[in-house]
Amino acid sequence: MTQPSHSPDAAPPPSPSTSPSPTPFSSPFSARATAAEVIEGVDLGGRRAVVTGGASGLGAETVRALATAGAEVTIATRRPGSAEPLIGELSAVPGAGRVLAEPLDLSDLASVHAFARAWRGPLDILVANAGIMALPERTLAPNGWEMQLATNHLGHFALALGLHGALREAGAARLVVVSSGAHQGEPFDFDDPHFERRPYDPWAAYGQSKTADILLATGAARRWATDGITANALNPGYILTGLQRHVDDATMRAFGVLDPAGNVTPPPYYKTPEQGAATAVLLAASPLLNGITGRYVEDNQENPSALAPHAASPEAADRLWSYAAAAARGA
């Protein structure tokens, strides 16, 4: 039976205030499980996925897992040529799904709209993975958005909105949004989201964008459930990837990942990229998540105490949805 549908940026249906809180999600996988372990035994044959920033880091490990399980995966990246080694690697894996790369610059609304317009057919999985962190100076996207908010949130929002029809067509699609524990200290500043008046701070900008990512999943979960779309956010944990390329050595030493001689020495609580991608893969592909939506998951478990109240607010999610929808239209 066809599911009822509505405008992708319409207000959500009312939720009874007396509804009990859902039981926190749990899985049999530990914080050290790898993406390969999480995907083992899952058949994604016939499914189609888009992974933003899928040419390197956590994105590449997510692509590996989904493709080896049989999914057709599109790597959405600013430089499609950078995905060629991964595409070549996976083309030699027996049973792997087709992997291709398409251009997408999340900070450029025209690029986002072009990607969404070019998509044809259903989309089963959208992993909003691409991101930048701690730009040392306030940098603006072509349309004036602060660059971290543009790349990490507003571009992904516009992409999800543009692909809503394809997600709905799939019938049981999943939106997976990669956030961060950095959200905990930074509510979304609706009065000055682009640091036009307040002093720019690299970590405040990053944390705000990651709060916005969780609110994106909350907003989509509230609006798109009747379309068969689930939406969840995650914290992948501490991992060394290209995300740290803008972080100076002094900060890296403060994090404990550089010794006095400049050697990379990640502490024991850091994960490998294969482990860091596990939670995204769990949310994107595991049958354990069938029908589960609107959650924030880290270390392959849902821990409500890890979610800051400002990122759990339905009112903030609705307000940000309205703001981001106007931004996605170029208003």
DSSP 3-state assignment of 284?
helix
Q: Which residues, at least 6 apart from 247, have a Cβ–Cβ distance to it below 8 Å? A: 133, 134, 255
User: Residue 243: its pLDDT value, please?
Assistant: 54
**pLDDT reported for residue 165:** 98
Q: How far is CA 98 from CA 77, 87, 302, in A?
A: 17, 8, 32
pLDDT, one tens digit for every residue, the chain (331 residues) = 333 345 676 666 544 333 446 889 999 999 999 999 999 999 999 999 999 999 999 999 999 999 999 999 999 999 999 999 999 999 999 999 999 999 999 999 999 999 999 999 999 999 999 999 888 999 999 989 999 999 999 999 999 999 999 999 999 999 999 999 999 999 999 999 999 999 999 999 999 999 999 999 999 999 999 999 999 999 998 876 555 555 565 665 666 666 676 676 777 767 999 999 999 999 999 999 999 999 999 999 998 999 999 999 999 999 999 999 999 987 5
- Would you state the pLDDT for residue 12? 64
52's enclosing H/E stretch is strand 48-52
**What pLDDT is attached to residue 13?**
55
Q: How far apart are CA 29 and CA 134, in angstroms?
A: 31
Structural domains present in the chain:
35-241+273-329 (3.40.50.720)
What pTM, to 2 d.p., does this model score? 0.90
For residue 16, the model assigns a pLDDT of 34
Residue 206 among the catalytic residues: yes
Which residue in the list 206, 269, 270, 296 is annotated as catalytic? 206
Q: Are 173 and 163 in contact (CB under 8 A)?
A: no
Between CA 170 and CA 173 the distance in angstroms is 6
Beta bridge partners of 298: 235, 301
- By DSSP bridging, strand 48-52 and strand 72-77 are parallel
| Contact predicate 64/39, CB 8 Å | no
